[in-house]
Structure 1
Amino acid sequence: MKAPDIKLLDARGRPLPSAESYTGTGTGFGGQLQRWNPRPKTADAALLPELKRGNARAEDLVRNHGLASNGVQLHVDNIVGHLFRLSYKPRWRALGMSEEDARDFARDVEAAFTEWAEDPINCWVDAERKRTLTMMVREVVATHSTVGEAMGSAEWIERRPGALYATAIKMVNTHRVSNPNFSGDTARRRSGVEIDRFGAARAFWVRNHDTTGYGFSDGFGTEWRRVPRETSWGRQQFLHVFEPRGDGQTRGANQFLSVMEQLPQLGKLQQTKLQNAIVNAMYAAVIESELGSEAAMEIIGGEIGTDKLEDYMTALADYHEGADIRLNGVKIPHLMPGEELKLMTSSNADNGFSELESSIIRWIAAGLNVPYEALAKDYSKTTYSSARASMMEGWRYYMGRRKIIASRWASMVFALWLEEALDRGVIRMPRSASRGFYEAKASWCNAEWIGSGRLAIDGLKEVKESILLIESGLSTYEKELAKMGEDYQEIFAQQVREMEERRNAGLPPPSWVKALALAPEEQPQEEVAN
């Protein structure tokens, strides 16, 4: 039985004013917050009941709304880029081997993994054989940006001759993970995810495909398969990445939920404005006549009005057809005496539409955590300082997403491959290592990932900043080149090869110091002295 609400009244029977410590917990100015009484809920209680509807709406927006599609594409291009490159860094101290052995081992691993993961012809990394690792990670980021999570299963597929490894990843549509037979959530199974008493995932229920009736059905079948999260010896079987925001959260929440109401309304607003613009572009030609009111009313109305109107219009048509006056081939309208030609046009006032549209797009950009200028493709009011501030703010967000979503997914794929490569003997551990793969899996699989480089608004200033950071000891070549989307080891090796080729060709070595001295902001000492 619900306890009755207790209200404190004054001597006149009016409710006493609230004594909240924070104004936000009161009724607000003029009682505006009086009806705002949301219920406290856990993350799953707020998300799971409407998970399918929210994700379906987000996918529909990305398919049909330009801003939503661009918002997802900004995530993909800034987080992943054209190549997601492995920078393998085994924790050699924890593994008991020397740094030199670790470097040699890392070079062999990087070469072997890249050969398998980025094979553009065979695509062995993908169970569907459609994607390279970079393509797969781009899809993961796009899916996560749309529905808040990404899923896949680790498959063991014995390939035909030419494939060294059986490891492959099958991408899983997030809608396929659901409770079997559409059953409700329980304490140990929520939206297709089995959990233990601590909330850790134990298994995933994956719905099969139904390929019949495309266009009339959703493409999902009526059978479910239980996929364990990992095997008994710790090999991962199901990949699931998302960023939890609350205690016990089981599934990811998509970013479009906070702007789900504004995006469709913006589309309707633009369509309405477009229709208005079309109407404004139309005009009407009106001929005013000095015909008397009685004669006009007789032509328009009365029993014989139709015949007289016909006679009048016929006479006008015959007159205009006969008056064929032209100037350089262009016909000049010659009106009857007493007629006047007027063009009636509609006004085309903006009425503040541009400012309203810009305000809504800024709201959407804030909800999607992307810079307004990049989302709207509008740099008309942007200065260098504001553009750089916006870019750096976006870059910080993208780097966080790269670490917890893209890099985590790629590291899970890398761990699956490294386990098989060591087991098959394609890769051999250094003899100095004191711990095996399963004893220190995290140390053996530790890796960094290099994605797209940071956008440079002023290339010269960006390069000079990197040089100063390196020379002052505040950064390294590895970090600065990673900001550009490059691997410093590859750059150094290529520079050695190029200098050797220049030497063999009789060319002088490049002078980076001279190039810096010729920068516009720093004149050579000889010119300053003169």
Structure 2
Amino acid sequence: MGLFRKTPEELLMREAIRQARATAEVPRPVAQGGGGGVETRWRGASRVLRSMASWIPGLGSPRRDLCSGERSMLVARSRDAMRNHLVARAAIMRLRTNVVGTGLVCRAQVDHEALGIDEQEAERLNARLDRLWSLYADDPRECDAEAMLNHYQLQALVLVSAMVGGDVFVATPDAERPGCLYSTRLQLIETDRVGNPAGALDTERLVEGVEFDTLGAPVAYHVCTGYPNELNRRTPLKWERLPAFGPNTGRRRVLHILADKERPGQKRGAPYLAPVLEPLQKLERYSSAELMAAVISAMFTVFIKKNSDFDTGNLPLSALGDEHADVADDPGDLQLGEGAVVDLGRGEEPVIANPARPNAQFDPFFMAVVKEIGAALELPSEELLLHYNSSYSAARAAMLQAWRFYSLRRWWLACDFCQPSRELIVDEAVARGLIELPGYHDPARRKAYCQAIWIGPARGAIDELKEANAAGKRIEIGVSNETLETAAMTGEPWQQVFRQRLREVEQRRGAGLYGDPPPPAPAPAPEPPNPEE
């Protein structure tokens, strides 16, 4: 024991250290009102503030932050909201109507400078390419693998499927059909069917059915023959490996359309409604409860209390109410009804509850929540509910803001689905000899031949006269041109509108509806000079 005894000097040193620590002022983490917390320079990084103490999210990879289990639940709830929630369905349908509408029409715009041809030859080539594309896009048997929808209807289905499910896949199988000009079909595959074979775990090169290389580029997609979550299956499920590109030509075999890619390395998409599912569910429950309370309040029921002197032997119960009252035969079966009169038993006391509905505060609160939801979805509340009750300037500002979002989605759909599918058809047309494009095998010339613009439905206007005058002023001062303004106002290419207008004017002149302007009156002859003057 003597070996572990402390010397007097050591004991004095330890006591001095203890007293120094006790008297030292050690700053403790204390939540402050202004600036950052004591322990952090940024208030958003504080772990002491009461408002931030319970908000400690973890850092994870895109695979972890959007794992398979959470994504499946988000997809299921998004589809249910699409079916049953009015505001959610309004948001998706507004996208479908304004982004696609009757379909994005393709107009070929070959790069004549890169091809070394003049503009007249380029116009003739554009017309031939447009005719070949129309033969494919207008016929459901040509483009749809199920032979039900044409290309313009497929555009709407692709957009809705990608927004609700987070992503959608489009396979391009080669299948000959009698009477068809092309053999390339577009087969839409829902997000549920793409996954790891037999539900296996993710690996370094396989994430939720997407197989990719060392650079992250897709190599193949694993597609289930059925729906893995479907019950009462009679045949076992199988997974097919579909290459993303052709091994020899590099031709696209599967198109992957994501609703949004928010992080580098993200392989699958989240539903468009994912950030607002919780407020959507609460708002739907609140509005349903208010509606039911209003219905109950409207069904005011009269209760009759009988005393010992009241004789109902000769008075039928139906005479006490209107002829449409639903009166049950069983006296114990009491229910509300429009104008119903309920007969109570002797000694029973009625209790009438007044829900005080409709609630005067329902509409302001409902609109406040819808504004928050619309801000997250990039849709103003006026556009989301189609309720323009403000001034012209405010309504036009809301429409313009919504159309910025619609234009973005339209460009996204054209890049991911429309243009790739058109390039596949141009490839097949050249291979079948339907059109001759010199040097098409060269990637640079191929891109020059496949250039095109996609024109969707026009934006519309609240006051068309003001919009037309503004378009003319933009053309006059040189900040726009007739092609852009025609596409924005009518949704048609300027060349087509000009040619049609030219034909109409010529026909009217031929029919004598447009008379030639009268010749100008001759100027009076000058008077001869007077010799005397």
- TM bin (shorter chain): 0.7 to 0.9
The correspondence of residues 155-166 of structure 1 with structure 2, limited to 5 A, is 155-160=173-178, 162-166=179-183
- Give the one of 220, 223, 227 matched to 2:242: 227
Letter in 1 for 2:492: E
1:279: how far off?
Answer: 2.2
Q: Which runs of 5+ in 1 are unaligned?
A: 1-8, 289-308, 326-341, 512-530
Letter in 2 for 1:238: V
Q: Is the 8 A contact 2:29 2:39 kept in 1?
A: no
Change (3 A) 1:510 1:260: farther
Partner of 1:523: none
Q: Is the 8 A contact 2:378 2:402 kept in 1?
A: yes
Partner of 1:424: 432
Change (3 A) 1:318 1:56: closer
Q: Secondary structure at the match of 1:449?
A: strand
Q: Establish whether residue 393 from structure 1 lines up as the match of residue 401 from structure 2.
A: yes
1:319: how far off?
Answer: 9.4
Q: Establish whether residue 206 from structure 1 lines up as the match of residue 206 from structure 2.
A: no
Partner of 1:123: 141
More moved, 74-83 vs 346-355 = 346-355
Partner of 2:496: 490
- Give the one of 252, 262, 268 matched to 1:245: 262
Letter in 2 for 1:420: E
Partner of 1:352: 361
1:123: how far off?
Answer: 3.2
Partner of 2:459: 454
Q: Establish whether residue 413 from structure 1 lines up as the match of residue 413 from structure 2.
A: no
Q: Secondary structure at the match of 2:186?
A: strand
Number of matched pairs: 454
- Give the one of 257, 282, 289 matched to 1:272: 289
Partner of 2:388: 379
1:170: how far off?
Answer: 0.7
Distance 1:281 1:181 in 2: 55
Distance 1:159 1:181 in 2: 33
1:354: how far off?
Answer: 1.4
Q: Establish whether residue 41 from structure 1 lines up as the match of residue 49 from structure 2.
A: no
Change (3 A) 1:314 1:223: farther
Partner of 2:342: none
Partner of 1:330: none
Letter in 2 for 1:225: E
CA RMSD for the aligned pairs? 3.0
Please report the TM-score for the alignment, with normalisation by the length of structure 1. 0.79
Distance 2:516 2:240 in 1: 62
Partner of 1:520: none
Change (3 A) 1:483 1:220: farther
Distance 2:74 2:236 in 1: 21
Distance 1:344 1:53 in 2: 43
Partner of 2:370: 361
More moved, 501-510 vs 258-267 = 501-510
Distance 2:516 2:301 in 1: 71
- Give the one of 83, 87, 94 matched to 2:107: 87
Distance 1:241 1:507 in 2: 53
1:498: how far off?
Answer: 0.6
Partner of 1:26: 46
Q: Establish whether residue 53 from structure 1 lines up as the match of residue 73 from structure 2.
A: yes
1:14: how far off?
Answer: 4.3
1:177: how far off?
Answer: 0.7
Change (3 A) 1:164 1:349: closer
Change (3 A) 1:406 1:218: farther
Distance 2:172 2:358 in 1: 59
Partner of 1:183: 200
- Give the one of 110, 125, 143 matched to 2:161: 143
Partner of 2:336: none
Identical-pair percentage: 29
1:12: how far off?
Answer: 7.0
Partner of 1:467: 472
The correspondence of residues 310-325 of structure 1 with structure 2, limited to 5 A, is 312-313=307-308, 315-317=310-312
Q: Is the 8 A contact 1:207 1:220 kept in 2?
A: no
Q: Is the 8 A contact 1:95 1:435 kept in 2?
A: no
Distance 1:481 1:123 in 2: 32
Q: Which runs of 5+ in 2 are unaligned?
A: 1-22, 31-36, 321-349, 518-533
Cα distance per residue 1:193-251 (max 9 Å; x no partner): 0011111111000110279x98x558996100000001121111001122321111101
Letter in 1 for 2:312: A
Letter in 1 for 2:105: R
The correspondence of residues 475-514 of structure 1 with structure 2, limited to 5 A, is 475-484=480-489, 485-508=491-514
More moved, 445-454 vs 274-283 = 274-283
Partner of 1:170: 187
Partner of 1:404: 412
Change (3 A) 1:48 1:445: farther
Please report the TM-score for the alignment, with normalisation by the length of structure 2. 0.79
Partner of 1:328: none
Higher relative contact order (CA 8 A, sep 6+): 1
Moved over 6 A (4+): 318-321, 342-345
Letter in 2 for 1:315: F
Change (3 A) 1:509 1:39: farther
More strand by share: 1
Letter in 2 for 1:67: V
Distance 1:259 1:378 in 2: 21
1:93: how far off?
Answer: 2.4
Q: Is the 8 A contact 1:369 1:397 kept in 2?
A: yes
Distance 1:441 1:51 in 2: 39
Q: Is the 8 A contact 1:407 1:448 kept in 2?
A: no
Partner of 1:236: 252
Change (3 A) 1:437 1:123: farther
Cα distance per residue 1:470-523 (max 9 Å; x no partner): 222211121111113112121111101111110111112899xxxxxxxxxxxx
Q: Secondary structure at the match of 2:512?
A: coil
Cα distance per residue 1:398-440 (max 9 Å; x no partner): 11111122443110110000000011111112x5xx6635454
More moved, 193-202 vs 351-360 = 351-360
The correspondence of residues 282-321 of structure 1 with structure 2, limited to 5 A, is 282-285=299-302, 312-313=307-308, 315-317=310-312
1:267: how far off?
Answer: 1.4
More moved, 278-287 vs 488-497 = 278-287
1:82: how far off?
Answer: 0.9
1:140: how far off?
Answer: 1.0
